[in-house]
Structure 1
Amino acid sequence: MVRGPTIDSSAIAPILTLIGIAAFTAGFCMPAWHAFLAGTVPLRTRGRLLALRQAFGGVIGIVSGLIAAYILKQLLFPHNFAILFGLTFLFWMISWATLAFVTEEDHQTRTHRDFKAYFQDHILVILTGDRWFRQYLLIKAIMLASMISFGFFAVHGVERFESGTDVAGLFTSIYMIGQIASAYLFGYLADRFGHKVNILIFGVLTLIQAAVAILAPSLTFYGLVFILMGANRCIQAITFNAMPMEYCTSSERPTYFALSNSLLSPLLLIGVLGGLLTPAIGYHGLFLISGVFGVLVLLIGTRLKDPRSLPNFDPIG
């Protein structure tokens, strides 16, 4: 019997602990980070900045992936992983050091006696009193739900067209190209016309994506699915990060951003539900569900109130 390499079980707990710490600190810092973003980047350029971040992130991700693959191949364990972790730490420190050169605007902050007071006097007031923000949460929930089939497009393509598993790498490359190529367009649209336009485009692309996945006559045509996936991912990266902060004042930004993410975090597991449904309804059934969510995005999105049109909107941002 041929056995694969054994794994020291004693290392699993520390690794999972470190992953958990990384996830917790990321969630802990994100509201403050986005408040910092809003306080340093003018309203009319945030969309393009986030778009450029998405585009450059995609390019750098491809390059760093190639470098990581080279290091893993050329060096033996554990030296290869040690170098990768060291490089990661170095880049994080460079990123952190750049913050020293950024000047943040002065803005008001809120103080509360304790978390109970914060919850009752602030969070509940927002959720019960800000109907337009609740409308945004609804449309974001539907957009996240439409991703129920995203993890199954590649598997379906390989099985349907009887391609080798290596074609999955090609799908990933096409996805990255779609994301990089569309980034600046959606950033410009967000800055020029508001995020509602991008939300409606998201609904159209989701519907087309589902139709192509079901009807594509060839593997080449099927690649369009991944271009649309990349474009939609770019819309999410821009709209989900910038739009919540347009509903509130500077002192409320961390809370609004935190609510827009924490309340809808269970929907990030929508792919698991897709996996449970696939044996019963098949891939095409899953794609149809995604298309229905795309239609809902369009129907509800047309009634969405753009925060820039609200009476209490702060044009300075």
Structure 2
Amino acid sequence: MPLPSFLRSFLAWILCVRRPLPTWSEPERLEYQRRHLKHNVFVNVAEGAFWWVGMGFAPAATVMPLFISKLTPSAWPVGLLGALANSGWLLPQLFTSNFVERLAQKKPIVVYLGALTERVPVIFFPLAALLAPRHPQWALALFLTAYAWHKLGSGLIATAWQDMLANCFPLNVRSWLLAGMVVIGAGIALACAEPCARLLETLVFPYNFVVCFAVCAFGVLMSGAILIFTREPVDPVLKPRQSHREFARELPQHLRTDRSLRYALAARVLATCGLMSVAFLTVSAVQRWDLPDRSAAMYTGWMMAGQMLGNLACATISSRWGHKLTLGLGWLLSAVAFILAAMAPAPTWIYPVFLLVGMTSGFDFISAMLLVMELAQPERRATYTGLVNTSVGVVGLFSPLVGSVLVAWSPSALMSLSAGFYLLAALTLWRGVDEPRRRLERQAFRVPGAAAEQEDGAEGEPVEREREHE
């Protein structure tokens, strides 16, 4: 069904799709990218830092489940929160890929549409907490609705954001850029873990959660304001206009012809099934050992510390050996974490669990995204990322709901099942996915001079650099 004309005009205006853009060659794009690299690094690291500061005060794995447990004894809202956390960002991506690939600049989608779909909803988090004492059911409904709006809205602009990063930053900078975002933001959030714990302990409910959610909203809104200053070059590599039906018909062909894509998708699906336990770690520990509310903030601190370590380790390792290795290592760490959670005889065991889960999150944030981007041709980056992420999002939507049933039966069995899924994911990745950088080396050995051309396709780097080097 076509959109109404006024809505099409509004979207065209807010996304600047009718604004005339110059036609750039690849050397011109690279020169603009090089000239503004330091500026873009500063802007995007600052944006990411504010984002992670905000998320550090209200993580979906610790503070948010605890807040929901104050509103209802039922496990399914916590499962729904986990489903949205796992899949909300992923689900919409495939449906925007065809449109994104035809745009010479992606910044208008990320900044202007993202303000409506991703940033505004967080304002309702503290409002839901204020509503909690008198109307807990309405507060629960408002909170889950706002969180769904926020996560699905993030997914609407996700392919554009990923493509904008690939357009603004060369391959060897991307891992360190994403690591810098999280390390700075998580470092600040880690420093605030103890004040956050005091807030949850000393302020009466719901004002303790009001303050945490207000800081979260401030960080997210500030990150959106900073992102306006990104300087994106005009992308000369655009996909020809294609109907949505033609685009959908090509998707199975990508899976049939690209073995690495198939196995990367299967591995991500298995790892997403392993995420079914994350939303229940805090609630299970609090209820099992009758822990105070401040424990959620302390778990957040350990998780943020793990995220910092994971990001730094991932950037260091992946820049030399590629993202396949780091992604598999991250999943093995989660397998160990959930085995520890299943066997935990005391609440102190949960601290290293969150440390390892945070490290996996750091590995996953960088390598899960960049591995798929490196497998794709530049004009197909949005298609590959959208295909993988939306497929994973469908699984992530249901796995925590299954977890909400299993946790009532046996929390330890649920944790053990998650560990098994992560082990299978790592095995599938290592057995089936061909590291893109090794594939380039083999092709260069077979066909002299072909490495530069293939590198242009798989990693978005230009042939001209190789020629200039020669």
TM-score under structure 2 length normalisation: 0.56
Give the alignment partner of residue 313 of structure 2, picking from 166, 185, 195: 185
Tell me which of 392, 396, 402 is aligned to 1:273.
Answer: 402
Distance 1:175 1:85 in 2: 16
Offset at residue 37 of structure 1 (A): 0.8
Aligned counterparts of 1:292 and 1:195: Cα–Cα separation in 2: 22
State the match for 2:74 in structure 1.
Answer: none
Q: Which residue of 2 aligns with 1:197?
A: 325
**Percent of aligned positions that are identical:** 21
- 1:53 aligned counterpart, secondary structure: helix
User: 1:98 and 2:226 equivalent?
Assistant: no
Partner of 2:248: 119
Q: Deviations over 1:106-127 (max 9, x none)?
A: 431112342112222x433323
Whether the aligned pair in 1 keeps the contact of 2:372 and 2:385 (CA below 8 Å) is: yes
Q: Cα–Cα, structure 1 residues 172 and 43, in superposed 2: closer, same or farther, change >3 Å?
A: same
Query: Residue 413 of structure 2 corresponds to which residue in structure 1?
Result: 285
TM-score, structure 1 normalization: 0.80
Cα deviation digits, residues 222-272 of structure 1 (max 9, x gap): 311110011011111111221111011111111111112111112223222
What are the within-5 Å matches in structure 2 for residues 1-317 of structure 1? 4-6=133-135, 22-61=150-189, 87=218, 91-92=222-223, 94-99=225-230, 102-104=231-233, 106-120=235-249, 122-269=250-397, 270-280=399-409, 282-303=410-431, 304-310=433-439, 311=443, 312-313=454-455, 314=458, 317=461
Given residue 42 of structure 1, which amino acid in structure 2 is its aligned partner?
A: P
Structure 2 contact 324–371 (Cα < 8 Å) conserved = no
Q: Distance in 1 between matches of 2:412 and 2:297?
A: 22
Check the 8 A contact 2:322/2:435 in 1, yes or no: yes
Aligned-partner Cα distance in 2 for 1:50–1:214: 32
More contact order relative to length (CA 8 Å, sep ≥ 6): 1
Distance in 2 of aligned mates of 1:143 and 1:156: 21
Output one character per residue of 1:136-174: Cα deviation in whole Å (capped at 9) or x when no partner.
111111111111211222233334444334323221221
- Give, in angstroms, the shift of residue 7 of structure 1: 8.4
1: CA distance, partners of 2:287 / 2:147? 33
Change (3 A) 1:251 1:216: same
The aligned counterpart of 2:40 is: none
Distance 2:294 2:401 in 1: 24
Check conservation: 1:112, 1:118, Cα contact below 8 A: no
Give yes or no for contact 1:31–1:258 (8 Å, CA) kept in 2: yes
Q: How much has 1:288 moved relative to structure 2?
A: 1.2
Question: How many aligned residue pairs are there?
Answer: 302
Distance 1:245 1:315, change over 3 A: closer
SS in 2 for 1:111: coil
Judge conservation of contact 2:377–2:459 (CA < 8 Å) in 1: no
SS of 1:168's partner is helix
Contact kept, 8 Å, 2:166 with 2:460, in 1: the verdict is no
Contact 1:43-1:191 at 8 Å conserved across structures = no
For the 8 Å contact 1:190–1:198, the answer to whether it is kept is yes
**Is the 2:263–2:429 contact (alpha carbons within 8 Å) kept by the matching residues of 1?**
no
**1:145 aligns to what SS in structure 2?**
helix
Flag the 1:155–1:239 CA change in 2: closer, same or farther, 3 A.
same
What are the ranges of 5 or more consecutive residues in structure 1 without an aligned counterpart? none
Q: 1:38 to 1:146 in 2, by over 3 A?
A: same
Contact 1:203–1:298 (Cα < 8 Å) also in 2: yes
Distance in 2, Cα, partners of 1:89 & 1:195: 28
**d(CA) in 1 for partners of 2:166 and 2:343?**
43
Q: Which amino acid aligns with 2:227?
A: W
C-alpha displacement of 1:52: 1.5
Secondary structure, aligned partner of 1:107: coil
**CA contact under 8 A between 2:305 and 2:358: conserved in structure 1?**
yes
CA distance in 2, matches of 1:86, 1:287: 31
Deviation at 1:93, TM superposition (A): 5.2
> Structure 1 residues 316 and 254 mapped into 2: Cα distance closer, same or farther (>3 Å)?
closer
Classify the secondary structure of the residue corresponding to 1:211: helix
